[in-house]
Amino acid sequence: MELIIKYLNCGILFKIGTCFDLRVYKFSDVNEKMRTFFEKYPIKGVKHLDYLYFYKLVKLMSEDSHITNEGLEKIQLIKAKMNKGRK
What backbone phi and psi angles, to 5 degrees, belong to 82? -90, 155
60 within some domain:
yes
pLDDT in tens, 7-48: 999 999 999 999 999 999 999 999 999 989 999 999 999 889
73 within some domain:
yes
- For residue 59, pLDDT over 80 is answered with yes
Report residue 15 CA to chain centroid gap. Answer: 19
Question: Residue 78: what pLDDT?
Answer: 92
47 within some domain:
yes
53 within some domain:
yes
Question: Residue 65: what pLDDT?
Answer: 86
50 within some domain:
yes
Sign for the CA dihedral angle at 32, 60, 76, 28 comes to: positive
Q: How many domains does the chain have?
A: 1
Look up the pTM and report it: 0.76
29 within some domain:
no
Residue 50: domain span: 42-87
DSSP 12: E
pLDDT band at 83 (very low <50, low <70, confident <90, very high): confident
Contacts with 14 (C-beta within 8 Å, 6 or more apart), sequence order: 20, 21, 22, 23
- For residue 66, pLDDT over 90 is answered with no
58 within some domain:
yes
49 within some domain:
yes
